[in-house]
Chain A
Amino acid sequence: MNGIKNISVYPTVKLTVVPSEKFKTSYLSVTFSRPLCEKEAPMNALIPEVLTRSCKKYPTMLSLSRALQSLYGASIDPMNSVMGENHLFGLYATFTENRYAFDGTDIFSEVADLISEMLLNPLISDGAFDESVVESEKEKLCGRIKARINNPAAWAMRRCIEIMCASERYSISPSGTVESVSALDAKSLFEYYESLRGKTEISVFYAGSESFETVEKKIREIFRDFSGPAIPFFETEIIRSASGEVKTVIEEEKVAQGKLTMGLRSSLALSDENYHVLALTSALLGASPTSKLFMNVREKMSLCYYCSSRPNALKGLLTISSGIEVENFEKARDAILCQIDAIRSGDFTDAELESAKKSLINSYRELTDSPSGLVFWYLTRSFAKRDDSPLDAANAVLSVTRDEVIEAAKGLSLDTVYFLKGTLCGEDDGEECEE
């Protein structure tokens, strides 16, 4: 992408500006990152919820919502995710470009100021966050953790990762657990938040039409007290091949459809220069409607509606997921493995490879039309210490050879098979199947 600019505003504050004149909505995010760990995860998850709920200037939800409403319906939302084994948390705003404000409101500045109020002037008393806000957000977060079972496919994926990476940081949930969130209190949470200053790098991303200078000035002003020394880079542990026997875990739930999830280790990760070969291998295997998994497991064998693969770039994993009839578990698993073997043995046509390339390249090129997509792209890449653009990646994909794909497929090793076995049959509500 032309004109992307990033600088260190202060040693701990990095600013990236993705200039784009052609959009009506702009994007601004401020995120902190810490090594993912059990102790801090619930606090890192709760802080963005508390910060976006109120601030000194707008102490109630209603006053804050009204302020945002007046800014042409701007939104400032909490953000909590992982980047490899880094815990990324903070807030992000989407808002209308100034030129569409019919009363001349400087929406960009107002939103940036509001973010600054939330981060630097939160609602506190006696050295603690507001007690009632913290309690209510704790309850909400616990509710969300419990509500994970509502989505069987995501649940199965989570379980697969937990089993596969049991002894790695990556298995830690960035939301914490019900127990660890419940144990937090307003005072220690605030003390922890204060202690983050100097312990965490702050990344600011902006996509929109404001000039780099305007944005930089604003960010410099907001973080003027954050001039500590730079924070060392935290490296994600990458295990490049599975060791020992394949772990197979089957768990039962009262759902209609079985969810099959497979986790593989990859010899390639985003920190490798040739990561794009893994992205391409995944596209060929199961990331498009002409992929091996779609064409065979769905179209030829009629086993499922979806069967797809997805690389986890920073951690160097590849996951596969599908929804199937319970009795087809072995059949579907073997069919999926058979397609991976096909790629390993070079059993794919040049046309298939070409299709996979085109599909992947198209998705990279389309990214340039999405400001938030671009922000996510560069943010992810920053955790692998690289800043190549989607178009650079598209060019790299273009020249990948068959042998490189075969090599990448050989570099995949099956670690874990997780099957969420449904125990309900058909449309009759709640009726369990007889074995």
Chain B
Amino acid sequence: MKKYDIITRENTALGEKYYSFRHESGLNVYLFPKDLTTAYALFGTSYGSIDSCFIPKGESEFEKVPDGVAHFLEHKMFECEDGSDLFESFAKTGASANAYTSYTSTMYLFSCTENFEKSLEILLNGIKSPFFTKENVAKEQGIIAQEIRMYEDSVQDALFQGMISSMYESCPIKIPIAGTVESISKITPEVLYKCYNTFYSLSNMALCVCGNIDVSDVIRVCDKVLKPESDTRIESKRLLPERAEVVSDRFTRKMRLSKPIFAIGVKDILISESPAERLKKRVVMETLSEYLFGDCSELSVSLYEEGLIRNPLSFYVDHCEAFSFIEIGGESDDPEEVFRRFKAHIEKVKKEGIDKDTLVRTVRAQYGEIISMFDSVSSIANEFLSFIMDGYDIFDYVEAYEKIDVSDVNNALHELFNEKYYTLATIVPQDE
């Protein structure tokens, strides 16, 4: 077994630590042992649905591939050259395997309670052995078409997609992750190999294992399976020119549902190139959103008590290298009135300023929520790699919460919230 410089990082308040090293193959490996029965492995590439215009490996010009390729590849990676698939191999070890594709990454995973080494070998080997043919691509087109059909009937997906499309002009998250039935019909084995060869190089990938694991077992499997690869620099057009204002301040669509649902989108194009700055802004955005729209916010409580919303407001924050926005959602008979009250609420808080005691309480509640993430091997590993792919780690994230300052939150309030950046998307019941 080869020796690696293993770095240990610890958070004593949480009582958690992890180890990391760079494998000679070029792969970054993160090991997060936990005293649990389950072991979980997550292996993935920093390649998602938004990477559809890039310079293919060995070429020099940008090329546009059909929408939905990253997700299509995710499905196809399970197939092996001998006609079997990875699910069958995992079935022999008893591991439960799965995969998912996001805007910025594709992840393969398994969890198991025995035969961890063997399962890890299957995972690493499988993802390093692509096998695409005309026939197996055609078969997958039928399956993914049904997956897309399922999303088409989802009112929540339609709402989110509507909000994004009225916010952005060119940002690639306008396109649904799975693409469309039409776009995936253009996918060929050649396209898949081109994307695979460009984005599935080990230096663009990462492995995180968590739970009932042993560091030397992981090193042994990596040494056995992974061959050294040269580092590659990837050119992918993730950030396209985008103005600060939303494209349209309204979106609406009729679907089969009982009551209107709405999503207020707050567009943000100020994204730092520095990971540390992005992390800081992310936690400030999360805290500010909890402060403004959380269960203890005046807005959520008053809308709920007056019957303007069915459940307390929900909100979602995303801030990474490629995009940034806040979504505030709910169900209401009168989304326009909710939107009006939302705007008035923001202006009121701007005038009053952020209250320090309320902010302290808000952060305390968030702390409780964050530490619950460390109870589940899947949430640790999934969050771990999503943070790593944006340039920081899971403890940086926790520690950033301890440094939140009232003036940062106040500044963010003024910087992020402006009518020009708002859009209101609604899905309303169709006429009977």
Interface residues of A (CB under 8 A from B): 22-25, 60-62, 65-66, 68-74, 94-96, 100, 102, 136, 139-140, 143-144, 146-150, 152-153, 253-257, 288-290, 294, 298-299, 302-306, 323-325, 351, 354-355, 358-359, 361-363, 365-366, 368-371, 422, 426-427, 429-430
Cross-chain contact A362 with B94 (CB below 8 angstroms): yes
Question: Among A306, A323, A362, which residue has the most Cβ atoms of chain B within 10 A?
Answer: A362
Given contacts A140-B310, A290-B88, contact A149 B257 (CB under 8 A): yes
> Can you list the 7 inter-chain pairs with the closest CB atoms, starting with the nearest?
A73-B365, A72-B368, A358-B94, A302-B142, A355-B91, A73-B368, A289-B87
Residues of B within 8 A of A72 (CB): 364-365, 367-368
Cross-chain contact A143 with B331 (CB below 8 angstroms): yes
What is the distance, in angstroms, from B169's C-beta to the closest C-beta of chain A? Answer: 21
Residues of B within 8 A of A294 (CB): 87
- Closest-by-CB residue of B relative to A430 is B254
Given contacts A65-B295, A70-B364, A143-B310, contact A24 B374 (CB under 8 A): yes
Distance, CA A302 to CA B377, complexed state (A): 33
What is the distance, in angstroms, from B287's C-beta to the closest C-beta of chain A? Answer: 12
Residues of A within 8 A of B307 (CB): 136, 139
What is the distance, in angstroms, from A245's C-beta to the closest C-beta of chain B? Answer: 30
| B95 within 8 A of partner (CB) | yes
**When the two chains form the complex, which single residue of B85, B112, B364, B430 contacts A69, counting CB atoms closer than 8 Å?**
B364
Cross-chain contact B181 with A427 (CB below 8 angstroms): yes
What is the distance, in angstroms, from A219's C-beta to the closest C-beta of chain B? Answer: 23
Distance, CA A113 to CA B301, complexed state (A): 24
**When the two chains form the complex, which single residue of A22, A25, A147, A354 contacts B35, counting CB atoms closer than 8 Å?**
A22
**When the two chains form the complex, which single residue of A305, A354, A358, A430 contacts B150, counting CB atoms closer than 8 Å?**
A305
Task: Beyond the given A69-B365, A100-B368, A150-B257, please list 7 additional residue pairs across the A-B interface where CB-CB is below 8 A.
Answer: A69-B362, A70-B365, A290-B87, A299-B139, A358-B94, A362-B94, A422-B153
Residues of B within 8 A of A358 (CB): 91-94
Residues 275 to 317 of chain B near chain A (Cβ within 8 Å) = 295-296, 298, 301, 304-305, 307, 310-311
Cross-chain contact B258 with A147 (CB below 8 angstroms): yes
Cross-chain contact A146 with B152 (CB below 8 angstroms): no
Residues of A within 8 A of B87 (CB): 288-290, 294
Distance, CA A94 to CA B331, complexed state (A): 25
What is the distance, in angstroms, from A368's C-beta to the closest C-beta of chain B? Answer: 5
Cross-chain contact B37 with A366 (CB below 8 angstroms): yes
What is the distance, in angstroms, from B136's C-beta to the closest C-beta of chain A? Answer: 10
Residues of B within 8 A of A95 (CB): 368
For this complex, into which size category does the number of interface residues on chain B fall?
A: 35 or more
Residues of B within 8 A of A66 (CB): 296, 361
Residues of B within 8 A of A303 (CB): 142, 146
| B10 within 8 A of partner (CB) | no
- Closest-by-CB residue of B relative to A429 is B253
Given contacts A147-B257, A361-B94, contact A96 B368 (CB under 8 A): yes
**When the two chains form the complex, which single residue of A146, A298, A306, A426 contacts B259, counting CB atoms closer than 8 Å?**
A146
Cross-chain contact A324 with B36 (CB below 8 angstroms): no
Cross-chain contact A69 with B296 (CB below 8 angstroms): yes
- Closest-by-CB residue of A relative to B92 is A355
Distance, CA A359 to CA B89, complexed state (A): 12
Distance, CA A60 to CA B301, complexed state (A): 9
- Closest-by-CB residue of A relative to B94 is A358
**When the two chains form the complex, which single residue of B113, B259, B374 contacts A143, counting CB atoms closer than 8 Å?**
B259
Residues of A within 8 A of B376 (CB): 369-370
Residues of B within 8 A of A427 (CB): 152, 180-182
Cross-chain contact A22 with B368 (CB below 8 angstroms): no
**When the two chains form the complex, which single residue of B97, B140, B181, B364 contacts A73, counting CB atoms closer than 8 Å?**
B364
| B149 within 8 A of partner (CB) | yes
| B256 within 8 A of partner (CB) | yes
Cross-chain contact B143 with A305 (CB below 8 angstroms): yes
What is the distance, in angstroms, from B372's C-beta to the closest C-beta of chain A? Answer: 4
What is the distance, in angstroms, from A235's C-beta to the closest C-beta of chain B? Answer: 34
Cross-chain contact B112 with A362 (CB below 8 angstroms): yes
Query: What string of 1s and 0s marks CB contacts (under 8 Å) between B151-193 and chain A?
Result: 0110100000000000000000000000011100000000000
Cross-chain contact B361 with A69 (CB below 8 angstroms): yes
Residues of B within 8 A of A365 (CB): 37-38, 113
A-B contact pairs, 14 of them (CB 8 A): A61-B305, A69-B295, A72-B365, A72-B368, A73-B368, A140-B310, A146-B259, A254-B430, A304-B143, A323-B149, A369-B376, A422-B153, A427-B182, A430-B255
Cross-chain contact A24 with B375 (CB below 8 angstroms): yes
Residues of A within 8 A of B42 (CB): none
Distance, CA A83 to CA B383, complexed state (A): 34
- Closest-by-CB residue of B relative to A370 is B376
Residues of A within 8 A of B95 (CB): 362
What is the distance, in angstroms, from A131's C-beta to the closest C-beta of chain B? Answer: 13
- Closest-by-CB residue of A relative to B253 is A429
- Closest-by-CB residue of A relative to B35 is A22
What is the distance, in angstroms, from A325's C-beta to the closest C-beta of chain B? Answer: 7
- Closest-by-CB residue of B relative to A253 is B256
Residues 341 to 391 of chain B near chain A (Cβ within 8 Å) = 361-362, 364-369, 371-372, 374-377
Residues of A within 8 A of B113 (CB): 361-362, 365-366
Cross-chain contact B152 with A25 (CB below 8 angstroms): no
Distance, CA A304 to CA B143, complexed state (A): 5
Distance, CA A371 to CA B376, complexed state (A): 10
What is the distance, in angstroms, from B44's C-beta to the closest C-beta of chain A? Answer: 18
What is the distance, in angstroms, from A203's C-beta to the closest C-beta of chain B? Answer: 23
| B77 within 8 A of partner (CB) | no
Residues of A within 8 A of B361 (CB): 66, 69-70
Distance, CA A139 to CA B38, complexed state (A): 43
**When the two chains form the complex, which single residue of A61, A146, A257 contacts B149, counting CB atoms closer than 8 Å?**
A257
Distance, CA A254 to CA B211, complexed state (A): 45
Cross-chain contact A62 with B296 (CB below 8 angstroms): yes
Cross-chain contact B91 with A24 (CB below 8 angstroms): no
| B96 within 8 A of partner (CB) | yes
Given contacts A290-B88, A304-B146, contact A147 B368 (CB under 8 A): no
**When the two chains form the complex, which single residue of A61, A302, A368 contacts B301, counting CB atoms closer than 8 Å?**
A61
Given contacts A302-B142, A427-B181, contact A257 B375 (CB under 8 A): no
Cross-chain contact A96 with B371 (CB below 8 angstroms): yes
What is the distance, in angstroms, from A98's C-beta to the closest C-beta of chain B? Answer: 12
Question: Among B34, B253, B305, which residue has the most Cβ atoms of chain A within 10 A?
Answer: B305
Residues of B within 8 A of A68 (CB): 295, 365
Cross-chain contact B96 with A359 (CB below 8 angstroms): yes
| B147 within 8 A of partner (CB) | yes
- Closest-by-CB residue of A relative to B432 is A254
Distance, CA A290 to CA B85, complexed state (A): 9
